[in-house]
Amino acid sequence: MPDGVIGGGWSYVIAAYSVTVAVLAIYVWSLSRRSRRAERSQRDES
């Protein structure tokens, strides 16, 4: 009876972490870009 362990599954784990890191990096970049735009528009209004 199998133990429920996938043999040689590290490639899937690495792929999943890589996708997660890429998505988080894009999200942080997007937040910083929005923040800079908001600061710029506030300066232009005053």
pLDDT tens-digit profile of 17-44?
A: 999 999 999 999 999 999 999 898 888 8
In a domain, 32, yes or no: yes
Q: Is residue 28 part of a domain?
A: yes
Domain containing residue 32 = 13-40
Domain total of the chain: 1
Is 25 contained in some domain?
Answer: yes
Asked whether residue 22 is assigned to any structural domain, the reply reads yes
24 three-class SS? helix
Q: Measured between alpha carbons, how far is 20 from 3 in angstroms, rounded to an integer?
A: 28
- Please report how many Cα atoms fall inside a 13 Å half-sphere around the Cα of residue 13, on the Cβ side: 5
Q: What predicted TM-score, i.e. pTM, was given to this entire model?
A: 0.70
Q: What is the pLDDT of residue 2?
A: 63
